[in-house]
Chains A and B, each alone.
Chain A
């Protein structure tokens, strides 16, 4: 068959790319080969627009055992243990079918973790939706949350944290970024390598159907029968199948039966086989007739490109083949030999006896085009109107007006703030997530960062997600630095030391020079801050083409920071604990909004870390969105293990009342302690401003400002306004 321009467009391939393909093959590709190239050279799999920039990210460090390039990054946490973690986006599928899109997103990231031999012990997610006063956005949120809960709960991984943010730009393009972290012994790491010429290539998990074969299928629908049934299916998640895969893979790994392993994610069988071959410098020959198929009359094209979920590709030593199959049978799973490793470096697929594709693995995995796309600073950026109060972004206009104009009734303004969409309690969401399974969750959703203990040690892991879209839209470079600074601060406030990070870069259309400029700036900002804090990026994901009504979304880099708590005794939460404790505000001399001074940030974080280690700190809370007033309220009622507790404080006056209460100043911490004098010493030694604001206690939250009592509100009332806001918005 001849390759028409139309066919190329359907496959998202340019003329130039097609020429390159023909050069590599030294002939015209078959349709199947064209399809294979199109998925492997797609933005999603090849990173052709982002690669030149991602190269700049810092990826090395003392703790890093595996940086970018594998299914997940791996860091050493001592005592012979390592953790693998990564974040990945499932934005577009979640818009098409919120429940299944989000569910399969969770499934995908979990596979990336246990593919490496690590057992997933924690998951988080970062979500972005359009404003909740629009009906459609409610449905999307409910579907996405339901899907995450459905998959994670059944699989048995605790969903211990995450973040949700509402803004107009996400209306037609929600963001669903799923993070997972797994733990294992550092000498038991597995890689996606098809080593050992002659070794069998084994297919395990779900059967292959015409799932998620994107627009590309339309091209194939032309020939063969029942073209109607060839429309790509929405992928359905099967968490039970995935759980069986986990157990079977882990057992097979421990029994030493696996040489190489990789999940079938994006680009399915094609991607896993050519990447495993390329990494090992080998060839992979597949017999597609042997591939378990769910639907009749599937073409080789469809089998190679299908993105059916819950499938893995393994390479085993010839003599261990039978034992391997036995392990999978024990778990009620099929394991089918679908090919073998060759020495010619080719990906070769046979169907009905004929060779239907024959391509060098390297060409697919490593020789994809790389683009240096034009960069151009956008003319018009986001208005600065909400710089001090970014949480108002995406709120109903009337609410914004009231908030910005109300001058008398500060009880009311505070209540409005805590029950606004971006600050309201996320309880309605995380209550649907099993955040306790595996019995390691010391700090679940609702504090600055989640903390899970590491059984058999005194240690714990702490993790957080942060993606300040509005800030990045206003200033990509500074916004990216803020994301790094704040996620490190959250880790430190929880008693941990930041070790490394993963990132999910959600951007608009890379063919827009403005978007690529934002991307480049973000990478530079992230690089600068990660270098500064010594937190390398060990992996991540890039999602382009996020557009609403033709407009690009905010550039939304989501950072997933992982830290180590040396001793569970250091674990600290954001909530006030006991009557009479002193409430402290500690911050650098220079107060910044929308920017961060890294030196000051380090000074503050060192101070927090050392005072926690000295046992001086009862609670520590990073005061960011909603400013001091909201942070104080959160300290009063964020403790899930007991009811709210009140506080009486003096709000420092610098500028004007609204800004002093709600202004979002970077680099601050709210603490409570029984020993303010000692903490003051440490703060001042660190060149930081120290202020004793007041005391914990009672059942009311009371603010004094320039010796006027401006807020005096029953803390239970405020808490229930905060807690019930989201359910109300959704009903």
Chain B
């Protein structure tokens, strides 16, 4: 089983993801350069956080043109696991691999802090070790994480159970106060209809070891490993 971590110019969480896969999970992992035209040989592809192309123009706007994105689109179409974290999520929406868009935080400021996430869907390759409603403590770090979709799209996403994580308070309640960026329905992470592409703003890569304040993020990577071992999951 081999993970790939994509490097775009301006990515800055690629080493963090690499470290979790290699040193925390003990799985094999390699970097994928954004100019590569194939992701052959990889079982899962991670788009890490950062500021691809400085997030100039719009977050993810210029990154979506990288050659590797076509390969990743095919990979996803064939059912390959694709996981976009933070900037990776933004790139996936820009590239049309996930619905919606990520607007500027309502507070207009970058926010870096731990949040509670309520697990909404376990029937995905990214959440198969989680239980419905399970609370995860995972930090965010973004200025544009305000999830938006037009009413019909939103209805469809909710209807299909594509919402995987919502921002919650420490008791698991989905409240406006628990919403750090103004996301519709407190949405923190979604999957595509096929459920093999996940995008989320919070950073499991920064919360996979107790010494960093939480190891909850590890559960998401472990779910991916499960899914690759037992594809039926």
Contact = CB atoms under 8 A, between A and B. Distances in A.
B141 A153 contact: yes
A97 interface: no
A240 B56 contact: yes
Interface in B112-166: 112-114, 139, 141, 143
Interface in A418-445: 430-439, 441-442
Interface in B42-94: 49-51, 53-56
Chain B residues touching A, majority SS: mixed
B12 A243 contact: yes
Contacts of B12: 154-156, 243, 437-438
B206 A433 contact: no
Contact of A442 (B141, B203, B212): B212
B15 A331 contact: no
A602 B23 CA distance: 39
Interface in A429-464: 430-439, 441-442, 453, 455
Nearest to B214: A641
Interface in B20-35: 20, 23
B15 A240 contact: no
Contact of B112 (A431, A453, A455): A431
B13 A154 contact: no
B10 interface: yes
A436 B211 CA distance: 12
A640 interface: yes
Interface residues of A, number: 32
B146 to A, nearest CB: 16
Contacts of A257: none
Contacts of A438: 12, 15-16
Contact of B54 (A240, A432, A442, A571): A240
B176 interface: no
A452 B162 CA distance: 37
Contacts of A439: 13, 16, 19-20, 205-206, 208-209, 212
Contacts of B209: 439
A433 B112 contact: yes
A156 B203 contact: no
Contact of B9 (A244, A435, A640): A244
B10 A243 contact: yes
A155 B213 CA distance: 23
Nearest to B137: A641
B110 A432 contact: yes
B111 A436 contact: no
Nearest to B53: A240
B109 interface: yes
Interface string A142-160: 0000000100011110000
Interface of A: 149, 153-156, 238-241, 243-244, 331-332, 430-439, 441-442, 453, 455, 568, 571, 640-641, 643
Interface of B: 9-10, 12-13, 15-16, 19-20, 23, 49-51, 53-56, 109-114, 139, 141, 143, 170, 203, 205-206, 208-209, 211-214
Top 9 closest A-B pairs, CB basis?
A: A156-B12, A240-B54, A439-B16, A154-B51, A434-B141, A436-B206, A434-B112, A432-B110, A439-B206
24 contacts: A153-B51, A153-B110, A154-B12, A154-B54, A156-B12, A156-B50, A239-B51, A239-B54, A240-B9, A240-B10, A240-B53, A243-B10, A243-B12, A243-B54, A431-B109, A431-B111, A431-B113, A432-B109, A432-B112, A437-B13, A438-B12, A439-B20, A640-B114, A640-B213
